[in-house]
Structure 1
Amino acid sequence: MNTTDKRERRAFLRDHRGELDSGCFAELKVCSDALLLEQPRQALEVAEVALQAASFASTPLAEAVARWARGNALVYLGRYEQALEDYSRACAIY
């Protein structure tokens, strides 16, 4: 699978949605957070994969975790208003 192809990734996530539990999203957030200081763009990519995967998850908390991770990455990239939007949407879900 070419993970940079969004359509292919979406199909893969759809086909494996039964495996997308809360632990999966927690691990994606941990991975994204680990990249923040030295590789914030990659942290953002991981968070966006988590957000895409959250659309197939059975729990709304998956979206909240993914949005929080993306907000963190956006802060490190200096995109504060976008980060605030993600944090606000995550808080509304929590």
Structure 2
Amino acid sequence: MQVFVRDNNVDQALRALKKKMQREGIFREMKARKAYEKPSERKTREKAEAVRRARKLARKQGIRDGLIAAPKRPSRDTRGPGRGGRAGSPPASGAR
């Protein structure tokens, strides 16, 4: 896994690395490997994950087919401060 540091901004690169690791499931795997998991617990967990994946897939397919109403997305005004701005614009909370 590789993250580039631009303009000596290590904090931004660290945030990007954490986001990539979260997406890849590395934190979840580290937590799982911390302690021994019995084979019966592993089977139970894997079955639950499979059910969760199947339900998610069915829900997305239902939304695509129009059988289920898609969840409403929050409007841009209600998302809160510091979100949704352009990259070059000043922060909403004032000067730093």
TM-score by length of 1: 0.31
Higher relative contact order (CA 8 A, sep 6+): 1
TM-score under structure 2 normalisation?
A: 0.30
Higher Rg of the two aligned structures: 2
Higher helix content, 1 or 2: 1
